[in-house]
Structure 1
């Protein structure tokens, strides 16, 4: 009896710390170009082994290879976080010196924890469901949102931040890790959505209700308005808005926004230019019946904000952030509560849409269900 595919992926991923330790112990492999080349060789070898593992399968979803390779890099990231926080030693010294020095920052440490735990569990779960014929589309959208948000912050943050003058060849290995999640998201959005069977009468009844008759949606709308306001405010703050409120907030409440690593500034700008429009269209989707796109985009957005806020909150408190840029002790509670609420709002919206999709279902003819309409 063959072990399940996800077990093979798990075991292959566990080899990541061993590969890092071997390279860290071999000075001849610690030249910048050699590090990039060795990384490509390791990932190429991993793809070959994965192909041999599933060669007996009649058809293999191309996203399997994405999830499996990314699982390996998740354990690389987790190894980095554990070493930077002092739990292990002797794995990442060479890579931080000659590969990607920015991985020693507080933001990168929190980012690697997220990858090594949340993304790794998502990958193994999606591979498990993939080879058992079960849908993993929603989990995939959650990961895609998280991964794209991560890359939108990390790559510009390194370039414009204090590490921009010390970019090594290994940094460019981020290029495929930036492009592949977009391709994966394109595939996932194009696949059919799993929907419960809903009768036309139930859809019509739910969609006749005004916003005031839907208390949960009313509360979500108000919190989304609050998130819009907070997004605009912090966007102005990192753009050096001369208003006293922005100045006071940055220097007395959240000085991390001015950390020269660049990541917090880029995070706020990504929120301002990308999250803000989505928050506004989600408000429209809560007010207007039949917006079926809400069922996918809220999951994608929840993954993006959860990952970004985890890194932002954690880095603003982490010991690797210089003391002058950490959240002041007397302002800890209001800053953390505001940031946690900013994380919780998209997650709550996604859960609401996933748990009760009737209001967002396209209207169907009387006497039919949404499944019957799809067949016709």
Structure 2
């Protein structure tokens, strides 16, 4: 299976390389997006077949390749890849072809796929499928390596917007948080998200605290699903996401944090993917009844998870739509007096 998978990827790459030879793209990531758009179709077919919507396409691979794709997490992950990532690839390919910038969308994609594959690979090794690792498993590291390299490339490219502001930036940055109601709301949401992250991280660490036991047993028993993905996801967010949430609070309080536009976009992509798979996996029919959300707290847990997913997206949107607070003020004379700069 591993050899077949590698051969297919090589053939697809050669196909794209040959058809673009007359007018080769300037951006090497074009081939990554084109290659991965092909695998998106495979993932979508896999999810549809596991859900019984189509049949006869992936039966052999399901039995001999990656059985963990048939878990509720695997199915929801494949839906995200087959729909959300596929749309992103088409948009980025279109922008590369038209010589237009795609840096922001690229960072969102990189965050999404990095989170996707980090949880997926670690969950396989740490969960109940750790004893069923087959050679094709190692192919997944390619799908982790590419978004990491893509993120490094995109982070180091010049930004689409200027980093230095003038009069508007100076005016906005002189305002206290209380006079910036949207930022104030986002700070509150981020603090709540941090508390939620700590709670679920401690649950994943099997903390003996009573609050953790109550939450695990009465609100989200899905976190103890032996498949392993929910616990791995909570730990990754706890150790890597929590510091970023804290950094975003700082960025909303301290003017001139030019890094906010990039990192909020990257993190938003990661969190929306994680929460899609987490929420969808906990609701999917392949998750056994003891691990599903109890009916009496269903809407409470669902609302909390949706708000948790929306918070980093709202922060990223605020930073992109109202960038003045996050710009550096020009140090040379005259610049601060320029209107609309």
TM-score by length of 2: 0.96
Shift of 1:368: 3.1
Q: 1:368 aligns with which of 310, 335, 338?
A: 335
For structure 2, list consecutive stretches of 5 or more residues without a partner in the other structure. none
Pair 1:164 & 2:130 matched: yes
Shift of 1:367: 3.0
Higher mean C-alpha displacement, 49-58 vs 232-241: 49-58
Residue 287 and residue 45 in structure 1: after superposition, are their counterparts in 2 closer, same or farther (change >3 A)?
A: same
Shift of 1:285: 0.4
Residue 6 of structure 2: aligned partner: 40
Secondary structure of the residue aligned to 2:328 is coil
Higher mean C-alpha displacement, 139-148 vs 93-102: 93-102
Pairs within 5 Å for 1:182-331: 182-195=148-161, 200-331=166-297
CA distance in 2, matches of 1:104, 1:58: 38
Secondary structure of the residue aligned to 2:234 is helix
Deviations 1:286-311 (A, max 9, x none): 00000010011000000000000000
Deviations 1:131-173 (A, max 9, x none): 1111000000000000000111011100010111111111111
Residue 106 of structure 1: aligned partner: 72
Is contact 1:80–1:92 with CA below 8 Å preserved after alignment? yes
Higher mean C-alpha displacement, 348-357 vs 242-251: 242-251
Q: 1:148 aligns with which of 109, 114, 117?
A: 114
CA distance in 2, matches of 1:104, 1:213: 50
Deviations 1:38-95 (A, max 9, x none): 1111110111111111111155310001101110111111001101111000112211
Secondary structure of the residue aligned to 1:133 is coil
Which 4+ residue blocks in structure 1 deviate beyond 6 angstroms? none
Q: Relative CO higher for 1 or 2, CA cutoff 8 Å, sep ≥ 6?
A: 2
Is contact 1:149–1:307 with CA below 8 Å preserved after alignment? yes
Shift of 1:212: 1.1
For structure 1, list consecutive stretches of 5 or more residues without a partner in the other structure. 1-34, 372-376
CA distance in 1, matches of 2:165, 2:83: 40
Residue 89 of structure 1: aligned partner: 55
Q: How many positions carry a matched residue from both structures?
A: 337
CA distance in 2, matches of 1:290, 1:336: 35
CA distance in 2, matches of 1:206, 1:273: 33
CA distance in 2, matches of 1:83, 1:315: 16
Please give the root-mean-square deviation of Cα atoms over the aligned residues, in Å: 1.5
Is contact 1:201–1:367 with CA below 8 Å preserved after alignment? no
Is contact 1:207–1:359 with CA below 8 Å preserved after alignment? yes
CA distance in 2, matches of 1:309, 1:229: 16
Residue 197 and residue 252 in structure 1: after superposition, are their counterparts in 2 closer, same or farther (change >3 A)?
A: closer
Deviations 1:319-359 (A, max 9, x none): 01111111112211011000000000000000000001000
Shift of 1:178: 1.1
Shift of 1:238: 1.3
